[in-house]
Amino acid sequence: MQTSKQELDQQLTEKLKSVFGFDSFRGNQLEIIKHTLHGHDGLVIMPTGGGKSMCYQLPALMGQGLTIVVSPLIALMTDQVTNLRSYNIGANYINSTLSNAQKREVFQSIENGKTKLLYISPEKAVMPRFIQYIQTKQVDLVAIDEAHCVSIWGNDFRPVYTQLISLLQALPAIPVMALTATADRATQVDICQKLKMKTPRIFISSFERKNIHILVRPAQGRLQQVLAFIKQHRGQAGIIYCLSRKSTEELALKLRNAGLRAAHYHAELSSSEREKIQHAFQRDELQIVCATIAFGMGIDKSNIRWVIHYNLPKNIESYYQEIGRAGRDGSPAEALLFYNFHDISIFRRFIDESEADSDFKNVQHQKLDRIWEFTQATNCRTNLILNYFGEYRDKPCMHCDICTHPPQGFNGNTLTQKALKTCIEAGQNLTLPMLIDVLRASGRKEIYSENLHKLSNYGSGRELSRNDWIHYLTQMINQGFIMIDYTKHSILKCTTLSQDALDGKLNIKLTKPIDPKFIIREVKPPGKNEEFNNNLLNDLKKWRREQAAEENVPAYIVLTDRVLKEIATRRPTTLLDLINISGIGDHKLEKYGKAIIKNIQEFIQHQEILKNVKGQSSLESFYLLKEGYHPKDIAQIKGIKLDRVFDHLIDLYKKGEDIDLQQFISEPIMHEVVEGWRFSGGSFDPAVVAEFIQSPVPMHQIKIVLSIIRKQKSF
């Protein structure tokens, strides 16, 4: 029977809720899923963390047969399969890590229909034996992840991907879904052609990652900035991308010396070492990984809270893919990028010295120009990226540093003229650092050996700091008033615009540096309610850790941080309440529901007891006093120290209870303590006041007198 449109929508939404616990589809997921279920081919372009996997996972659950997922990354495959199994979904993978016995088991499970999703590496998927075998099975869908690898226009071409066509042609009637997070227009068309897709629809989601806050900083004092940033993100997982293997090692060491749990990662490590680091990072045992770009492709960790680019990435595609690894759970995350000319010149050299043909080199140089323009942007950075990927928009994003801290512009004619005059007077022979040294009259040795201190412009820019000069010169270079000659040791030269700038014919606009303080933002102390939730969250995390260890899976496979946070905020106390939390499906409800509720109930009970003990005990002492007992007797009755009884009474007295504390203090002691208080300069710290009292007075008596003074002062 044909189901109506609404019925299908409802069925799919119910499945999404019952299996994954999510209330609604994100973006165009539903549209993509229906397109596939109707038997059509499609190309899905969605940013990392956008929810691509759901597009083939849900259809896989709707059909009778098997869904094949081609995935090039072993770690990702393992992770996805573990994740699906945690929802009680039959999933398996085939790749080079499996033994023959394990492979037999997988095929057995396909035979008896237990496997709904089969992840497979492209190498295995194109083997004639596999193709022959799979033709005898009922296949509902072939999904090809990281589909940009099929195109030479893409960021990561893999020849084996082009052979996938043999698998697809062996399954001619089966819909194909290609998925990728990175493909410009040319790559998109190429993917569809290379995979010979039949009248495919291309689904492009917005590339905006609203939960990622984008920050870009000049690289001066980079290490200090990084340390301050990490301090602000205490205990939160992050990746620092570096340009070279050596710098990953050095930086990780510095971070460890600063007491942080950091490791380095690069292609030169043995595969077991790399696995160990990935594993520790996945399980939150390691907070920070300092890595080359080799790290991350296979990382499916949803709670990465920040990504730092210690060096400039080689293009906008890489940058956006790398920062996309942060905040996949949808909670706020930060991306911090450092730029300097040094990195640019290294990249230029890499490109020039590579074996590639001149067309390819040209493209690489242009891509490098775009990422540099991104670092120098004076308008919304997100829009710049979106425009790059062909998504045109001009409303500010409000989650990049330019939107949240708009740079202040001013007329930069004088500054530019100073720089140009100095540059010209020195024979257009200075590098950028040297020009700054001359402008600021730094007194560096080379200045004297080159006789630069005799220039008339020597010291003409000493009113600005070194960092400010770097900031302004960078803008002058970007606007074309000065250029860097990379072919001659990066010396600065005049351009065709220089003369007009010197003649004052232009209105040069420069912007002031963004205050670095805002990356070292003050962390607000949590409010009472927040503190309560944090404590509950910690309890729940502890439970999750134990559960994950028992199941031998990473903690987020049990439940993600986002789900735990929502539980801690909403504090469900029945299973019915718990099902309303996004991310709890039927299977997880059944598996963990009771334990979660028990944790919450125990926590709340514990809090109540704590609260009562404190309040109750003070009141008891007060009532006993009212009944005529002396504090000494009260201490005995309650089995507590005399000082504690007085603490109770002082506490209530401060809160306004009518208690005559003066009766416990003799005249001379009163006098003595008041004198001590005066000498202390009016301190209300009993220990301080005690220092200024001649003869020994019991601490509780000092406290009483101080609370009496305070009360009198407040009238």
434 binds, among ligand ADP, Zn ion, none (CB under 5 to 8 A by kind): none
* Contact assessment for residue 32 and residue 43, using Cβ atoms and an 8 Å cutoff: no
What's the Rg (C-alpha) of the chain?
Answer: 33
The residue from 150, 263, 299, 397 that contacts Zn ion (CB under 5 A) is 397
Q: Closest separation between CB of residue 431 and ligand ADP, Å?
A: 43
The residue from 188, 302, 383, 479 that contacts ligand ADP (CB under 6 A) is 302
Nearer to Zn ion, 177 or 215 (CB): 215
Nearer to ligand ADP, 41 or 300 (CB): 300
Nearest to 378 by CA among 354, 344, 401: 401
Q: What DSSP designation does 179 have?
A: E
400 binds, among ligand ADP, Zn ion, none (CB under 5 to 8 A by kind): Zn ion
The stretch among 342-350, 367-375, 397-405, 699-707 that binds Zn ion (CB under 5 A) is 397-405
382 forms part of the interface with Zn ion (CB under 5 A): yes
608 class by beta-carbon count within 10 Å (0-12 exposed, 13-18 middle, 19+ buried): exposed
19 binds, among Zn ion, ligand ADP, none (CB under 5 to 8 A by kind): none
397 binds, among Zn ion, ligand ADP, none (CB under 5 to 8 A by kind): Zn ion
Q: Closest separation between CB of residue 180 and ligand ADP, Å?
A: 10
Nearer to ligand ADP, 67 or 302 (CB): 302
Contacts of 516-519 spanning 24+ positions with Cβ under 8 A: 516/217, 516/225, 518/401, 518/405, 519/215, 519/217, 519/225, 519/228, 519/229, 519/232, 519/336
Question: Which residue type sits at 385?
Answer: I
81 forms part of the interface with Zn ion (CB under 5 A): no
Q: Closest separation between CB of residue 403 and Zn ion, Å?
A: 3
219 forms part of the interface with Zn ion (CB under 5 A): no
701 binds, among Zn ion, ligand ADP, none (CB under 5 to 8 A by kind): none
The residue from 12, 33, 45, 46 that contacts ligand ADP (CB under 6 A) is 46
The stretch among 19-27, 99-107, 420-428, 591-599 that binds ligand ADP (CB under 6 A) is 19-27
175 forms part of the interface with ligand ADP (CB under 6 A): no
Ranges within 47-66 binding ligand ADP (CB under 6 A): 48-54
* Contact assessment for residue 557 and residue 82, using Cβ atoms and an 8 Å cutoff: yes
Q: Give the three-class secondary structure for 240.
A: strand
Q: Closest separation between CB of residue 298 and ligand ADP, Å?
A: 12
123 membership: H or E segment, kind and range: helix 122-125
Q: Give the three-class secondary structure for 504.
A: coil
Nearer to ligand ADP, 182 or 498 (CB): 182
The secondary structure of 560-608 as a DSSP string is -HHHHHHHHHH---SHHHHHTSTT--HHHHHHHHHHHHHHHHHHHHHHH
**How many binding residues for ligand ADP (CB under 6 A)?**
16
Site string for ligand ADP, 262-301 (x = CB under 6 A): ----------------------------------------
Ranges within 401-440 binding Zn ion (CB under 5 A): 403
Nearest to 177 by CA among 150, 224, 141: 141
Q: Closest separation between CB of residue 52 and ligand ADP, Å?
A: 3
- Cα(211)–Cα(576) distance, rounded to whole angstroms? 30
382 binds, among Zn ion, ligand ADP, none (CB under 5 to 8 A by kind): Zn ion
436 binds, among ligand ADP, Zn ion, none (CB under 5 to 8 A by kind): none
Which residue shows structure tokens 């412009």? 457
* Contact assessment for residue 178 and residue 204, using Cβ atoms and an 8 Å cutoff: no
The secondary structure of 278-317 as a DSSP string is HHHHHTTS--EEEE-TTSSTT---TT--EEEESS--SSHH
Q: Give the three-class secondary structure for 120.
A: strand
Q: Closest separation between CB of residue 276 and ligand ADP, Å?
A: 23
496 class by beta-carbon count within 10 Å (0-12 exposed, 13-18 middle, 19+ buried): exposed
Q: Where are the alpha helices (DSSP H) in 378-460?
A: 381-388, 401-404, 413-425, 432-439, 445-449
Q: Closest separation between CB of residue 116 and Zn ion, Å?
A: 41
CA distances from 473 to 422, 493, 532, 623, 631 (A): 12, 12, 50, 75, 75
The residue from 15, 17, 26, 276 that contacts ligand ADP (CB under 6 A) is 26
Nearer to ligand ADP, 261 or 541 (CB): 541
The residue from 255, 263, 400, 689 that contacts Zn ion (CB under 5 A) is 400
- Cα(101)–Cα(29) distance, rounded to whole angstroms? 37
* Contact assessment for residue 115 and residue 63, using Cβ atoms and an 8 Å cutoff: no
Nearer to ligand ADP, 376 or 582 (CB): 582
403 binds, among Zn ion, ligand ADP, none (CB under 5 to 8 A by kind): Zn ion
Q: Closest separation between CB of residue 460 and ligand ADP, Å?
A: 53
The stretch among 347-355, 396-404, 413-421, 637-645 that binds Zn ion (CB under 5 A) is 396-404
Nearer to Zn ion, 213 or 264 (CB): 213
Ranges within 406-425 binding ligand ADP (CB under 6 A): none
543 binds, among ligand ADP, Zn ion, none (CB under 5 to 8 A by kind): none
The residue from 8, 15, 22, 247 that contacts ligand ADP (CB under 6 A) is 22
Q: Give the three-class secondary structure for 118.
A: strand
Q: Closest separation between CB of residue 442 and ligand ADP, Å?
A: 49
Q: Where are the alpha helices (DSSP H) in 457-585?
A: 466-478, 498-502, 528-551, 555-558, 561-570, 575-579
Nearer to Zn ion, 35 or 217 (CB): 217
Q: What count of other Cβ atoms lies within 10 Å of the Cβ of residue 61?
A: 19
705 Cβ contact list (under 8 Å, min separation 6) = 665, 669, 670, 673, 674, 677
380 binds, among Zn ion, ligand ADP, none (CB under 5 to 8 A by kind): Zn ion
25 forms part of the interface with ligand ADP (CB under 6 A): yes
Q: Closest separation between CB of residue 485 and ligand ADP, Å?
A: 42
Nearer to Zn ion, 376 or 467 (CB): 376
Q: Give the three-class secondary structure for 25.
A: coil
The stretch among 22-30, 238-246, 399-407, 641-649 that binds ligand ADP (CB under 6 A) is 22-30
688 Cβ contact list (under 8 Å, min separation 6) = 680
- Cα(176)–Cα(36) distance, rounded to whole angstroms? 8
Q: Closest separation between CB of residue 182 and ligand ADP, Å?
A: 11
The residue from 19, 181, 286, 380 that contacts Zn ion (CB under 5 A) is 380
Nearer to Zn ion, 397 or 673 (CB): 397
Ranges within 548-577 binding ligand ADP (CB under 6 A): 560
Q: What count of other Cβ atoms lies within 10 Å of the Cβ of residue 527?
A: 9
Ranges within 662-701 binding ligand ADP (CB under 6 A): none
Ranges within 309-338 binding ligand ADP (CB under 6 A): 328-329
Q: Give the three-class secondary structure for 390.
A: coil
Q: Closest separation between CB of residue 83 and ligand ADP, Å?
A: 8
- φ/ψ of 215, rounded to 5, equals -125, 140
* Contact assessment for residue 510 and residue 220, using Cβ atoms and an 8 Å cutoff: no
Nearer to ligand ADP, 25 or 119 (CB): 25
The token pair that represents 520 in the structure block:
């070292």
What is the contact surface with ligand ADP in residues (CB under 6 A)? 22, 25-26, 29, 46, 48-54, 302, 328-329, 560
The binding site for Zn ion (CB under 5 A) comprises 380, 382, 397, 400, 403
